[in-house]
Amino acid sequence: MKFFFLLTVYFLVFSSLSYPQKKRTERADEAYDAGEFYEAIDLYKNAYSAIKDKQEKTRVTFQIAECYRKTNNSKQSELRYKKAINLEYPDPITILWYAEAKKMNQKYEDAIDEFKRYKQLVPDDPRSDNGILSCEMALEWMENPVGYKVEEIRYFNSRGFDFSPAYAQEDYSVIYLTSSREEATGKKTHGATGQNFTDIFESRKDRKEKWSVPVPLDETINTEYEEGTPSFTSDYKTMYFSRCEVSKRKKLGCNIFFAKRSAEGWSKPELLEIFSDSLIAAHPSISKDEFTLYFVSDLDDGYGGKDIWKITRQNKTGNWGSPENLGPDINTERDEVFPFIHPDGTLYFSSNGHLGMGGLDIFRAAILEDGTWKIENMRYPINSSADDFGIVFENESEKGFFSSTRKGRRNDDIFSFILPPLKFNLLGVVRDEKSEEPLSSSTVKLIGSDGTNIEAETADNGSFRFRLKPGTDYIFIASKRGYLNGKGRETTKGQDKSKDFRTTILLSSIAKPIELSNSNVFYDFAKWDLRPEAMVSLDRLVETLDDNSNVTIELMSHTDSRDTEEFNLELSQKRAQSVVNYLIVKGIAADRLSAKGYGESNPKVVSKRVVEQYPFLREGTILNEAFINGFASIEQQEIAHQLNRRTEFRVVRTDYQDKEE
């Protein structure tokens, strides 16, 4: 990320210049202060062996670690910070940066331990709690990645830095990218990175979808200085880009330039005068309407580190207004860089100040009606424990490119990303409600809120399958001759990942009576008033009757054997009638219902499901009075009596037609 460095180090001393003949550590310190971190590492290392004083040796070890941190070499910085800690470097900040290095090296559990150690030493620093939380979130995100598919684009990448891709043509067949590869115009070595100064390169896609080897733009755009991070207007006729100039005598810094494209090529770039002096501006991103330009600067009145700013104008040819900071929702005390304004108005940017997985993470930000921003981490696999930045989208599609150091080579590389279309399947099986055997040749109808209405027949194993659409509510109804219809529901609304929904539809045979669930708590002892618990089961019965509008039923109520036969017969009749009355109130036609009380004459036969709930019973046993009285336990006797107090229904007819239809 060459421009990331240059926003801080905009006045560099070329590595080709010789340092005065001073003490080795003094020369190393001068290189460090000038931002020549790459040079400083070698100077500190050369000085280290000659240092006798332990305190100075410890300080130099820490300085080497700092150089590696500031050049994004997390592997080496972890080793050097650990060495500084072992040498008892006095500042606790060493432990914080050691934890950050472990975090960037994806050693999240170890990093949490180090953040906790730092918290004990500096309890008021929020960076420890934030570090712990970000590591915990990273572990969760890696366990549950979002649906993007990420792939390294090898034909874009080189041994140098390759980053900040941008589409340069309307059909997305041309990419401009920033690179420090050998073909770059600027041949001087960058003291902060040890590589060439960057240029803007072009790659084109052929008819076989293969990208060409990137070639540098001509010297109209590329110079001996640093060029990069291009951004295009919606017609691709104007390009904004960063240029960081260096002089031995003056601090020229980073500025934003723009150039116009014609049939002859790019015009001579013009400076976009955002500031009246030599303050830094870089990483431009122009909005679709060309009225707003987002950029990065480290102005003193920002929120700390590098902030994202914007300038606006009233029309495409108007003058730009004064810079405006995007505010504390976007900007933090650390660095916010590489903004990209999507055509739909969503702002994407990278930050190491918001909670993230490692170094820089990519965030999306949507502006709300009250003017505040809703910030969202794009999570894994877009983000990683390394630096992730410089994202660009293919207009309205969820695909494009971004930059990352995730390959462990420290260099920036370009990756593609795509969010494959969401795929939803409903995988189901239809079974007999009692035996749980699969029901082949059943008909399953799928009805969607989008108007979908399709049917399928179950296979020999009772299975069926439907493809579902995103953002849709579904009802599926199964039917088979000799059974009541069964129904289920599912929705794909709110689903952001492809998913297979699995369901089982149980169909009740009309050959035998069907028991209502929870019927043993329908009534108080010796009473026929419906208890509140009955409502849930009866409401399901209402739904069953609505789904099977062709049937009439008889409500069958049973009692236990306590009290006289006459009393129980009358009680059961009243209970059955109370159910019928409830169903009528709920809109079921009275001529579809009849009530019949059976008293204690039909004791329950223990089923397999009952045995699963009450293992002291045996399948097939009839719970008559003699059998129940054989239990020594009063509790077991009461359970058996409760099982006998039940309400069932049986289908009387299957050819019912509503008289009003």
The domain limits of the chain are 2-143, 149-418, 424-507, 514-653
Give pLDDT, residue 410. 65
Query: Is 427's pLDDT higher than 50?
Result: yes
Cα 311 from chain centroid? 31
- Note the pLDDT of residue 16: 36
Q: What is the pLDDT of residue 4?
A: 53
Is the pLDDT at 213 greater than 80? The verdict is yes
Q: How confident is the model over 351-361, as pLDDT tens digits?
A: 999 999 999 99
Percentage of the chain with pLDDT > 90?
A: 77
Query: Band of the pLDDT at 523, cuts 50, 70, 90?
Result: low
Mean pLDDT for the chain overall: 90
Fold type of domain 2-143: 1.25.40
Phi, psi of 139 (to 5 degrees): -60, -40
Binning the chain into helix, strand and coil, the percentages to the nearest 5 are 25, 30, 45
Alpha-carbon gap, residue 582 to 580, rounded angstroms: 5
Q: Mean pLDDT over residues 133-143, rounded?
A: 97
pLDDT digits (tens, 9 = 90+) for 387-408: 999 999 998 889 999 999 998 6
Least confident interval from 170-179, 183-192, 436-445? 183-192
pLDDT of residue 246: 65
At 10 the pLDDT is 44
pLDDT score for 11: 37
Q: Measured between alpha carbons, how far is 406 from 161 in angstroms, rounded to an integer?
A: 13
Looking at the chain, the whole-number percentage of residues with pLDDT higher than 70 is 91
Give me the helix-helix angle, 37-48 and 24-33, nearest 10°.
Answer: 160
pTM of the model: 0.76
Class of 514-653 in CATH: alpha beta
Give the model confidence (pLDDT) of 242-259 as tens digits. 998 865 444 457 999 999
pLDDT at 522: 52
Quote the CA–CA distance of 224 and 186 in Å, as a whole number.
4
Choosing among 3.10.20.70, 3.20.20.70, 2.120.10.30, 3.40.50.2300, the CATH entry for 149-418 is 2.120.10.30
Cis ω before 165 (30° cut-off from 0): no
Q: What is the pLDDT of residues 293-323, one digit of tens each?
A: 999 998 888 998 899 999 999 999 999 999 9
Residue 103 pLDDT > 70: yes
pLDDT at residue number 434? 87
Vertex 15 angle, CA 12 and 16, to 5°: 120
Could you say which of 2.60.40.1120, 3.40.50.300, 3.40.50.720, 1.20.990.10 is the CATH number of the domain covering 424-507? 2.60.40.1120
Q: Which residues contact 107 (CB under 8 A, 6 or more apart)?
A: none
| pLDDT on residue 537 | 81
Lowest mean pLDDT, pick from 78-92, 235-249, 385-399, 556-570: 235-249
Q: 20 pLDDT exceeds 80?
A: no
Cα gap 461→459, rounded to integer Å: 5
Mean pLDDT value of segment 267-285: 87
Instruction: Give the model confidence (pLDDT) of 471-507 as tens digits.
Output: 999 999 999 999 999 999 999 999 988 899 999 999 9
Structural contact between residues 138 and 357, judged by C-beta atoms closer than 8 angstroms: yes
Written as six digits, the tokens of 354 are: 């918001």
Q: Please tell me the distance from the alpha carbon of residue 186 to that of residue 162, in angstroms, as a whole number.
A: 15
pLDDT in tens, 574-615: 989 999 999 999 999 999 999 999 999 999 999 888 999 999
